[in-house]
Amino acid sequence: MLSSSTSTLRLHQPTRGPRRHLLPPASHQFRSATASRRLPQRGGTVIRALDAAQPFDYESRAAGLLEDRQRLKIAIVGFGNFGQFLARTFARQGHTLLAHSRSDYSSLAASVGASYFQDPHDLCECHPDVVLLATSILSAEAVLRTLPVHRLRRNTLFVDVLSVKEFPKNLLLSTLPPDFDVICTHPMFGPESARDGWDGLPFVFDKVRVGDCPARRARAEAFLNIFEREGCRMVEMTCAEHDAHAAETQFLTHTVGRMLAMLELQSTPINTKGYETLLRLVDNTCSDSFDLYNGLFMYNKNSTELLNRLEWAMDSVKKKLFDGLHDVLRKQLFEGSPHAPNTTTVRK
Ligand code: NAP
* Ordered strands of the 115-116 beta sheet: 115-116, 96-100, 73-77, 130-133, 157-160, 181-187, 202-209, 233-236
Q: Decide if 164 contacts 295 (C-beta within 8 A).
A: yes
Query: Taking all residues of the chain, what is their mean pLDDT, rounded to a whole number?
Result: 84
Q: Write down the pLDDT at residue 2.
A: 33
CA distances from 291 to 102, 262, 343 (A): 15, 17, 52
What are the CA-CA distances from residue 111 to residues 71, 87, 107, 114, 227 (Å)? 20, 10, 6, 7, 22
Please indicate whether residue 139, judged by its CB atom, sits closer than 6 Å to ligand 1. Answer: yes
In the chain, pLDDT over 90 holds for what percent of residues? 72
- Per-residue pLDDT at 242 exceeds 60: yes
- Ligand 1 site-directed mutation target among 77, 82, 89, 144, most atoms within 8 Å of CB: 82
Question: 193: Cβ below 6 Å to ligand 1?
Answer: no
Confidence of residue 333 (pLDDT cuts 50, 70, 90): confident
Tell me the average pLDDT across 71-99.
Answer: 97
pLDDT at 79 over 50: yes
Q: What band does 61 get if pLDDT is binned at 50, 70 and 90? A: low
Residue 13 in contact with ligand 1 by CB distance below 6 A: no
CA 334/CA 259 separation, integer angstroms:
39
pLDDT at 153: 97
User: Does any ligand 1 atom lie closer than 6 A to the CB of residue 285?
Assistant: no
* Nearest atom of ligand 1 to the alpha carbon of 188: 43
DSSP 223-274: HHHHHHHTT-EEEE--HHHHHHHHIIIIIHHHHHHHHHHHTT----TT--HH
Asked if 298 contacts 314 with a C-beta cutoff of 8 angstroms, the reply is no
Q: Is the CB of 117 under 6 A from ligand 1?
A: no
User: How far is the centre of ligand 1, averaged over its atoms, from the C-alpha of 292 (Å)?
Assistant: 7
Å from CA of 226 to ligand 1 middle: 21
Q: Is the CB of 161 under 6 A from ligand 1?
A: yes
Whole-angstrom Cα distance, residue 92 to residue 164? 27
Question: Separation of 82 CA from ligand 1 center, angstroms?
Answer: 7
Q: Which atom of ligand 1 is nearest to the CA of 138?
A: 15
What number is the average pLDDT over the span 261-284? Answer: 96
Is the pLDDT assigned to residue 330 strictly greater than 50? yes
* Ligand 1 nearest atom to the CA of residue 160, by list position: 32
State residue 258 phi and psi, 5-degree precision. -75, -35
**Is residue 8 over pLDDT 80?**
no
